[in-house]
Structure formats: structure tokens, C-alpha cells
Structure 1
Amino acid sequence: MALDIFVVMLYAAGMLLLGWFGMRRAKSHEDYLVAGRNLGPGLYMGTMAATVLGGASTVGTVRLGYVHGISGFWLCAALGLGIVALNLVLAKPLLKLKVFTVTQVLEKRYNPLARQASAIIMLAYTLMIGVTSTLAIGTVLQVLFEIPFWAAVVLGGGVVVLYSTIGGMWSLTLTDIVQFVIQTVGLMFVLLPICLYRVGGWDELVAKLPASSFNFSTIGYDTILTYFLIYFFGILIGQDIWQRVFTARTERVAKIAGTTAGIYCIIYGLVCAMIGMAAHVLLPDLANANNAFAAITKAALPDGIRGLVIAAALAAMMSTASAGLLAASTVLTEDLLPKLRGGKESSLGLNRLFTLLTGIVVLGIALVVSDVISALTLAYNLLVGGMLVPLIGAIFWKRATTAGAISSMALGFIVALVFMFTDGLEANTPIYYSLAASLISFIVVSLLSRQPAPAANLA
């Protein structure tokens, strides 16, 4: 494993070096949070795709492919279609606002109280996004290098925290581009072809797996619907993704490059699902399907090449972990902290300090949570159940009121928590009932409360 360890260490050193370059470019508050709102199509496409495709998309989709076959791709498909919709429909009004956070949009439409309430929900979501990919990083390093899980989390997650802290969005953008290239080469052009070769080719894969593995609905229509309710709509309103939209130089950049990134995500999902299918043939008796990615990488690849694919997986995970980390820090410094500081705005130094502190919290949570899909589901259930309805209403329904928005957020958030606790994280009921409760309370309370004054035009 010496050669593999060297390749991974070289990759980690490269990420830190790019973080340093990002620090040199992050000379202002706006540079640190949204890369100066100046990304062109290449940088924008790469950073958007790399942000979405993280630990759950990689390790999770390989696990779904291992268990359900090709239909495991629906998780990435929902994410990819969400990226397409976001950039085609919402990018134009978002770029006009010149804001830093999702919750600032709610303040423009409602009032500061709505911003504070939504910031708490967004903070919980962004923290769990960071935790999810940090967990995935730890899982891969633990299995492949046979080190304790806590050490894997601290080492892998520590690199993310360091480069995110020093350079902010510019560090994330530069590292994301390299990560995008590495994960594309490593998974699409190295791991998948070698796995298919080890199986004996596509025909042998078809012969050795049941026909249901090649059915796009095997995972279940209810699960597919849930993925769309959670991940498609979650992409439309997540701070980590919106913060990337804010970096686009123009609306045209967002539309073309963002749509390309969404299509890439769908293809990536198909690749990961097929890797999982090959793993099922080569390693049919895995005790834990969550380890399918790490196990097939370790079993199928030679030294050196294995290190490249490990770096590819880490690239996917680190990009999403850093996005969640910076998003959580941004919500803290832009939405919550000013309230405690008498309205005083944040500075570049304060942004760096809170990114570091948020990173430490993410590492701590990752040490006590175990399942990447469950952690991602928790994050998106809270986000979509609590914020989808009032945020879409803010943009498209003029009669919406602050009272309706806050009741919708509170009730949707609470209902999602209750049903996740009673029915489990993998149940469909949390998202169904939280959305229903959020929608009903939003409409009823808005209609019963005072007609709002003319609000900012967000559409």
C-alpha cells in the first residue's frame, strides 16, 4: 500500500497548495464567500458538479448499485435534474439580488424574523452536508489504509477544514476543478472499465446478475419519488448550491454551464451504479454494503492505480464537504452573528475564524454518526420539509405573509423530525407529512394574516 499512500498524500498536498493559492485571491469579504461573483463557464461547471457529487453520491450510489442494480442511479439523477432546473429557472432572479445566503432572499420578501428562523434550519442542513461527506472520507480511508475510523475522519476531514478556512470560495473553486478532473478520470475511465474487465465484460455482468438489476424501477417507485422530493427540491433551495450560483459571472454562464453540470451528474450516477453492480459479482458476500466502494477498489485495482481511484473518491467527497462547511459558516456569519453583534457586518478575518470553528464542529459530529445515506437524508428532510414551501412561495406567491412563512418553516421542520424519530431515517413519511403540513400552514396562515406590504420582486 506504500505507493497508494504516496499518491493520496500527494493529492492531499495538492489540495492544500491550491488552498494557499485561493487564499492569495481571497482579498475581500465577497471574494471569500462567492469568489468575487466572477466565475466563467469552465470554472462554474466544474465547481457546480463537484459540489453536488460528494460522499453520498459516490459511496452511496455504489452501495445502491450493489443492492438494487442500475436503478441505484436515481439518487444522482434527482440531484442532476435539480441542478438543471435551478440554473434554467432560478439563476436569473438569484443573480440579480447580489446576496450571499438563501435566507437573505426570505428577508427581502418577508422580514428579518423570517431570515433568522430559516437560518437555523439552513445551518442544520449545511452542517449535515459537511458531516455526510466527512463520514464518507473516513469510511474510505479506514477500509483502504486499515487505520482507526477517528483517525481517518480527522486526517481526511482536517485537510478539508484547512484549505476551506484559508481561502474560502476561491480555494473551493480551484480545488473543485482539480477534484472534478480527478473524479472523472478515476471513476469513469479507470475504475469502471477495470471492474467490467474483472467481471469478464458487459455480457458476463448481464449473465451473472438477475434481470431485476438492469431494471430502472427495481429500487421502487416510492423510493424514486422520495429521492425527487428530497434531493431535486433540496438542490433548488440549498445554501451550498445557491452559494455556487452566486459565483457565476453572468446569467448565460449559469444556464449553459449549470445545465452541463446537471447532465454530468446523471451520467456519474449511472457509472457509480454499474461499479456497484460489478462489485456485487466480484464480492457477493460483503457484510456491509456501505463498504462496497472501498472494498471493490481494494480488490480490483493494482497498487498505484488504486491510489488514483482513492484520490478520485476523496475528490468527490472533499468538494461536497468543503461546500457544506463554507455554507454553514456563511449562514453563521451573514445571518445569525450580525443579530448578536448589533447588526455589525462580518469581515474577512471573522469569516475565516468561523469557517475553522464550523469545521471543528463538523469533524466532531462525524465521529458519532455512522451512515452516509442516513446523514444525507436527515439533512435534506429538514431542509425540504422546513424551507421549500415558504421559499418558493416567496418567489411566486404575492399573498404570502411573514406569519405564514414562519409557521410553515416551524411546522415542517418539527413534523420532519417527529417522523424521522418514529418511522426511521429511511422512511418516506417524514418528507411526505412535513411537506403537507408546511404547505397547509403556509396557505392557511397567510390567508388569515394581514395582507403584506408590497414586497421585493424576486421573480
Structure 2
Amino acid sequence: MNGYSVFLIMLTVYIAVLVAISWYFNSRQKSITDFWLAGRMIGPTAIGFSAAASWLTAGGVLAVVGYFMLGGMGSIWEFVAPNILALLVIAVLVRKIKSLPAITQPELLEQRYGSSVRLPIAVIITVVMTLFSVSDIKGLSLVLQVFYGLDPLYAAAIIAVSVSLYVTLGGLSAVIWTDVIQFSFLALFAMGMAFVSVGTVADGGLNTTAISASQLFGNVSGSWWNPFSVGLPLVLILSFALIPGWITEQDPWQKVWAARDAKSASRGMVVGALMISVVFAACAVIAIALNSIYPEIAKMGFPAGMGLAEPALLNFINTRFGSSPVIISLSAIGLAAASMSCTDTFSTSGASCVSRDIFQRYIKPDATMKEMLAVNRISVIAIILAATAGSFVIPDIIGAIQIATFIASSSYFFPLMGGLYWKRATKEGAFAGMVVGFLVQVALVATDLIKTPPMGTNYLETIHPILTGHGVIVGMTISAIVFFGVSLMTKPSSKINLAPFFKEEAEKLARYESKAVSETDKSYSAFLENVDEKVTGERAHLQLNLRASGNLNWHEITERLKISYPAWITPTGIDSVYRLTHGDMLSCVTITRGSGDRDIWLKAEPTLETMGRQKRELFTAYEELKKVLGQKNIRLDFFK
């Protein structure tokens, strides 16, 4: 049996395990929150594993080894340090993010600014997530090409089939728990290769002079260890270019929303930062050993030597273990796991924008959960196919990651963070800052890609150092000027748009408290028996599944509900209807479409101390909905 056959058998078993995990979670999904936010029940360890796995691609690991080989610790600002720092910043922002009643960032921005911003931000996030997926496909392509001589299209096919199978079955729960397995594979691979590469040098393998581990690390020059060897200006430029884009990425925010409470989310992000630090430390050890094995690569410097430095680890594995197809296959599986763990996150985030923020919001507002899942499955595959096409255009792995990050930083960093903390931000300012920043940054990236010679210094960087990183500092500056300037020149946001973000504004709008409900009321007792109740962390999750006796005109229902009972509002369109009764909008009762054409879901996520009151409010909301439907002679029945 040849090595490629061994790899295919092991890959099939591995994917079967991932699909089994997804099938398990598929059977437990009872709401839109279960699919997109894993029921908000994930603990800190799983959040940490998933956060780490989502930001460590196979290509990223290979590129980091290459950077360390050519630039030493000074290269950490290209990818490593911003990666770690971004997770730590998110850990600080967790409490604000966790309190927001949204499933996706475009939905959140519509709540903050209005409908005009949801479509452009959904498109931008989808583009960014697709670009991130490019790096995964390029990384796996490199692995399969070096190990088995395969065409890059095979990498895309493997990722497309495997990821679409388990993600579309189990949603974010599948992504998070398969990430735990995938990060474990990658971490074991990285640490194993660190020991093997150092051991090879110590044994004098691969025609190298045998030296001890202490001699190996002792021979490394002092400049190699200096993290500021690239100069403070470049450190600042890269930090300001990369960290904003990564802290506003949709995928870590979705993991924060999926956490069982703010403390779990914050600890998870810190755990994730520590986990990737361990892997990056292993990459540094590997790079030191490979510089001893391949000294000719280190002498080439950056960027000229990157073409040989990126696949250096793969070539080492191939040479060192060429006679052992099992070890080669295990290495390929470890790197394939890294590619899948990132692609599943990116494609899930991008597909949620397509299905929920574009399809349901603008194309079919009354779409059921079943219809959105179908669109979600198609979107996952479409994003991977688009990323495959992009992998033939974007020249290097880290380049794909950085381009995606720069576009994110320049387009929605200021509208998103400004919306969270600055009341004076307006929809006009957000829209203008987002669109102008996006167009400027895309133009700068395109100019750089077209005019930069192969393996040469980026064209814009040769004009002025401030244009390092495809001119992202310029793009962000223009976006900020437009966002703040237009916001100050336009009318302030309405209180309805401010309510989800500023508790005092929500309290000004709150209209009704729950009506008096007798605990001995038989109808209330029967109602409570059908409420699905879960407690996770500091909040309870209350859900009531209803089935109508006739066809539902969703637009008419929401309008009648809002007219009859003014507490009901639709801040993000008719797909989600909120009963705004107090300042904590996450606790407010929400109505959404269910899985089938006649299914309706009522849910609320109150804090534990207000759970009793919110059960009564859920009953009040049910009674109001029942009266509105009764006007159309439609009856509501409970179902689990």
C-alpha cells in the first residue's frame, strides 16, 4: 500500500469522527441559537481550544516557521504577536460583546445604525472570511504537493467535502468541538516536530554536523532573539494594521456569544492566547533546528528566501521520514486538521452572513430555519470554491491572511467599535466609513499585488514606510476621518438603535412590565410545562416552540403585533421581533421563525435573578401572539 492510500484511509476515518460529532449535535438542535451559537452553553476550555484552532492554519504554521528562519523573533509582528494580543484584547471586551442581543455582526450593526449598513457589512465580512479561507487552502495544497505531488485542486476538494459535511450538520457546536480535536492534532504535531528536528541536529542526521541541543540554541545570534530588530516604527505599523482587524473579526465574537457566560468567554480567550503561544514557541524551536539543517535558506533573507522557507518543514519531514508512510500521513492529517479548523470557522461565519443577513433579511424575510440551513450549506461550499479561485491569485499564505485583515481593519473597525462605545455615531457615518475604507483598501491591495515583482518588496512600501502592509494605515485613517466626520455632521441615532448598546437608552423606551400572572392559573401551569429551560452560567435560556394551525403571513403577523402591542419592535427587520420591556435586551422576549412553515419560536435569555419574572413575561408574550393570530382564526399548539 503506497503512502497516499494510507493518507486517504486515515483521512476518511478522521472525517468520519468529525461527522459523527456533528450528527450528535444535529439531533440536539431546537433553535436558531443552538445552530449558530451552540445554545450559548460552551465553557472556557472549549472556547480556548476553538479560538486557538481558528487562528492557527496549516499555512500559518508553515509560514511562521519560515518567518522565524529568516527574521528571527523580529518577525513575530507579522503574525504571531498580533494574533496573541488580539485574543487578549477580546478577553477585555467580552462583557460588552456578550450583552448584545445579536447572532451576527451585520445584525448587530443594523440594531445600532439601521438597515442601510447590514447588507454592505455582510458582503464585506463574507469577502474577508473567503480571503482567510484562501490561506487554509494554500497551506493544505502545499502539504499535499510536497508529500504526494498532488494538484492544488485536491486540497480544495478535501476541505470542501469534509467541512461542508460536518459544519452544515452540527452548526457552531460542531465547529467548536471538532476544533478541540483539530487543535490537539496540530499542537501534538508542532511539539513533536520540535523534538524531532532538534534531535536530528543532535544526532547529525541529514548530513549535518552533530551538535548538542545546548550548542544549537547557544549558537543563535543575539539579533535573532531581539523582537524589536525590525524597528519600532514597523512594530507599531504592523500592530495597528493587524490587531484592529482581528479583534473585530466575526468568528471570535460568535464564540463569545456562544459562551455560557462572560467569565467563560474571557477565560476562554486567555486560554486560547496561551495555547497558540505554545504552538508558536514550538515553531521557533523548529526554525532554529531547520536553520542548522538548511543554512543556505537562512542566508537568503526575507522576502527572497520565503519561497524555500515556507515548505522547509515539509521537506524536512519528507526527507527524514520518507520511508514511513504512516508518519508522513499523520503529519499530513495534523496539518489538514489545522486547515479544516480554520476553514470551518471562516466558512461558518461567512455563510451565516449570506443565509441570515442577506437571504433572510433581504430576499425572503419569512424564511424558516430549514430554508436558512439549506442556504447555509450552499454558502459554505460557495465560499470554499471562491477561496480556491483566490488561492491561485494571492501569492503567499500570510499574504492572504494579512490582506483579509487589512480590509477588515479599514472597513468596519471604526463603525463597529465606535457603535459600541460612542453614542454620537450615526448610520450615515458608519455607512460612509465602511464603504470608503473598504474601497480604498481594496484599491491599495490591488495596486500592490499588480506592481510588486515576484518575491520582491511590496511596491507601496518602496514609496514610503507608512505604506507598509498594503497601505493599511492610510486606509484606516481615511475610514476614521470619514466615519467621525460624517457622524458629527448628521442627525444622532434614534433611541431604538441605541437601546441594545446603552442600557439607559433601552430603559427610556421600555413600555410594559409583565402582567400579573397567577401561579395557580391552570393555563400558566400548562404553559410552563412546555417551556424548555436551561441554565448556563449567569443566564437562563427559556424557549417555547409553537406550531400554528394554518399558514403564516409573517409580515402581517409582525405588523399586527406591533400595532396591537407597542412594546414589540423589529430593530433588524421582521426576522426577529423583540418585546422591549427593560434595559437588558438579551433578556427580552424574542419571536423568530421555526424550522417549518408553521413553526414559531419564543425565547428569552434572562439573568438568573430575573428568571421568574421573565417566565411570566414569556407567558404574556405568548398570550399577545395568540390573540393576534386568533384574529386570523389561527390556533397555536405547543410542541417539543
TM over 0.5, shorter chain: yes
In structure 1, how many angstroms separate the alpha carbons of the residues matched to 2:15 and 2:237? Answer: 35
In structure 2, how many angstroms separate the alpha carbons of the residues matched to 1:236 and 1:266? Answer: 17
Task: Report the CA distance between 1:406 and its aligned residue.
Answer: 0.7
Mean CA deviation greater in 149-158 or 199-208: 199-208
Task: Report the CA distance between 1:272 and its aligned residue.
Answer: 1.6
Asked if 2 retains the 8 angstrom alpha-carbon contact of 1:86 and 1:235, the reply is: no
Task: State whether structure 2 residue 263 is matched by structure 1 residue 243.
Answer: no
Gap change, CA 1:202 and 1:77, over 3 Å in 2: farther
Task: State whether structure 2 residue 473 is matched by structure 1 residue 432.
Answer: yes
Q: Which residue of 2 aligns with 1:136?
A: 139
- Gap runs ≥5 in structure 1: none
Task: Report the CA distance between 1:34 and its aligned residue.
Answer: 1.5
In structure 1, how many angstroms separate the alpha carbons of the residues matched to 2:388 and 2:416? Answer: 29
Q: Which residue of 2 aligns with 1:298?
A: 318
Q: Partner of 1:97: helix, strand, or coil?
A: coil
Asked if 2 retains the 8 angstrom alpha-carbon contact of 1:72 and 1:273, the reply is: no
Task: Report the CA distance between 1:430 and its aligned residue.
Answer: 2.2
In structure 2, how many angstroms separate the alpha carbons of the residues matched to 1:171 and 1:46? Answer: 13
Q: Which residue of 2 aligns with 1:261?
A: 272
Gap change, CA 1:21 and 1:413, over 3 Å in 2: same
Asked if 1 retains the 8 angstrom alpha-carbon contact of 2:74 and 2:230, the reply is: yes
Q: Which residue of 2 aligns with 1:332?
A: 354
In structure 2, how many angstroms separate the alpha carbons of the residues matched to 1:12 and 1:131? Answer: 23
Q: Which residue of 2 aligns with 1:197?
A: 199
Asked if 1 retains the 8 angstrom alpha-carbon contact of 2:45 and 2:271, the reply is: no
- Of 163, 166, 170 in structure 1, the residue corresponding to residue 166 of structure 2 is 163
Q: Which residue of 2 aligns with 1:87?
A: 91
- Gap runs ≥5 in structure 2: 203-211, 298-306, 453-457, 459-467, 503-640
Q: Which residue of 2 aligns with 1:401?
A: 426
Q: Which residue of 2 aligns with 1:173?
A: 176
* Count of aligned residue pairs for this structure pair: 457
Task: State whether structure 2 residue 101 is matched by structure 1 residue 127.
Answer: no
In structure 1, how many angstroms separate the alpha carbons of the residues matched to 2:332 and 2:81? Answer: 23
Read off the aligned partner of 1:193 and give its amino acid letter. Answer: F
Gap change, CA 1:279 and 1:256, over 3 Å in 2: same
Gap change, CA 1:85 and 1:361, over 3 Å in 2: closer
The ranges of structure 1 where at least 4 consecutive aligned residues each deviate by more than 6 angstroms after the TM superposition are none
TM-score by length of 1: 0.92
Task: Report the CA distance between 1:392 and its aligned residue.
Answer: 0.8
Q: Deviations over 1:231-264 (max 9, x none)?
A: 3222211112212212101111111122111122
Q: Partner of 2:50: helix, strand, or coil?
A: helix
In structure 1, how many angstroms separate the alpha carbons of the residues matched to 2:7 and 2:287? Answer: 24
Read off the aligned partner of 1:257 and give its amino acid letter. Answer: G
Give the alignment of 1:15-414 within 5 angstroms.
Answer: 15-26=15-26, 27-28=29-30, 29-74=32-77, 75-89=79-93, 91-188=94-191, 190-200=192-202, 201-206=212-217, 209-285=220-296, 288-301=308-321, 303=324, 304-367=326-389, 368-369=392-393, 370-414=395-439
Q: CA RMSD in A?
A: 2.4
Asked if 2 retains the 8 angstrom alpha-carbon contact of 1:329 and 1:351, the reply is: no
Gap change, CA 1:10 and 1:87, over 3 Å in 2: same
Asked if 2 retains the 8 angstrom alpha-carbon contact of 1:8 and 1:311, the reply is: no
Read off the aligned partner of 2:411 and give its amino acid letter. Answer: G
Read off the aligned partner of 2:60 and give its amino acid letter. Answer: S
Gap change, CA 1:451 and 1:149, over 3 Å in 2: closer
Gap change, CA 1:37 and 1:432, over 3 Å in 2: same
In structure 1, how many angstroms separate the alpha carbons of the residues matched to 2:276 and 2:127? Answer: 25
**Structure with larger Rg:** 2
> Percent identity, aligned pairs only?
22
Q: Which residue of 1 aligns with 2:482?
A: 441
Read off the aligned partner of 1:24 and give its amino acid letter. Answer: Y
Q: Deviations over 1:386-411 (max 9, x none)?
A: 00011111011111111111110011
Read off the aligned partner of 1:282 and give its amino acid letter. Answer: I
Asked if 2 retains the 8 angstrom alpha-carbon contact of 1:40 and 1:249, the reply is: yes
Task: State whether structure 2 residue 493 is matched by structure 1 residue 452.
Answer: yes
Mean CA deviation greater in 381-390 or 148-157: 148-157
Task: Report the CA distance between 1:222 and its aligned residue.
Answer: 4.3
Task: Report the CA distance between 1:209 and its aligned residue.
Answer: 4.7
In structure 2, how many angstroms separate the alpha carbons of the residues matched to 1:156 and 1:116? Answer: 28
In structure 1, how many angstroms separate the alpha carbons of the residues matched to 2:71 and 2:97? Answer: 38
In structure 2, how many angstroms separate the alpha carbons of the residues matched to 1:415 and 1:63? Answer: 30
In structure 2, how many angstroms separate the alpha carbons of the residues matched to 1:307 and 1:333? Answer: 36
In structure 2, how many angstroms separate the alpha carbons of the residues matched to 1:71 and 1:299? Answer: 29
In structure 2, how many angstroms separate the alpha carbons of the residues matched to 1:268 and 1:107? Answer: 38
Task: Report the CA distance between 1:431 and its aligned residue.
Answer: 1.1
Q: Deviations over 1:178-227 (max 9, x none)?
A: 11211121212x11011112223443434655443222223454443343
Higher relative contact order (CA 8 A, sep 6+): 1
In structure 1, how many angstroms separate the alpha carbons of the residues matched to 2:382 and 2:180? Answer: 25
Task: Report the CA distance between 1:175 and its aligned residue.
Answer: 1.2
Task: Report the CA distance between 1:101 and its aligned residue.
Answer: 0.7
Task: Report the CA distance between 1:265 and its aligned residue.
Answer: 1.9
